[in-house]
Amino acid sequence: MSDETVVRMAEIEIDPVYLEAYQRLLAEEIEISVNIEEGVLALNAVAIKGYPEKIRILEVYASRAAYEAHLQTPHFLKYKAGTVGMVTSLNLIDVEPLMMHSKP
């Protein structure tokens, strides 16, 4: 992981009425982003147990430029436009990677 790496944590709350639709849009956006964008290294989305509407996403980008490019992709814009009425709370937290280690 280089010094350039950009890591962010998103804390998102979803209107329960739209939870299934939101999950579908999020899963599609994550799959496409990691598969086709070279600079999107990982997108790990989880929900707090017992509170499926409370979502946390750990996002890892190769660089600031990769992150900015991601925001302009058709799949991200589709997700953003499609979910705007579903999200009741969004908290974006910039974080510094300390030690990120996964099985290859």
Provide, rounded to whole angstroms, the least separation between the CB of residue 4 and a copy of itself: 15
Q: Are 69 and 43 in contact (CB under 8 A)?
A: no
Provide, rounded to whole angstroms, the least separation between the CB of residue 102 and a copy of itself: 4
Residue of 4, 20, 31, 68 that binds a copy of itself (CB under 8 A): 31
The overall longest dimension of the chain from CA atoms, in Å, is 41
3 binding a copy of itself? (CB under 8 A): no
19 binding a copy of itself? (CB under 8 A): no
| Side chain identity, residue 23 | Q
103 binding a copy of itself? (CB under 8 A): yes
Interface with a copy of itself (CB under 8 A): 7, 9, 23, 26-27, 30-31, 34-35, 40-49, 52, 55-56, 58, 60, 93-104
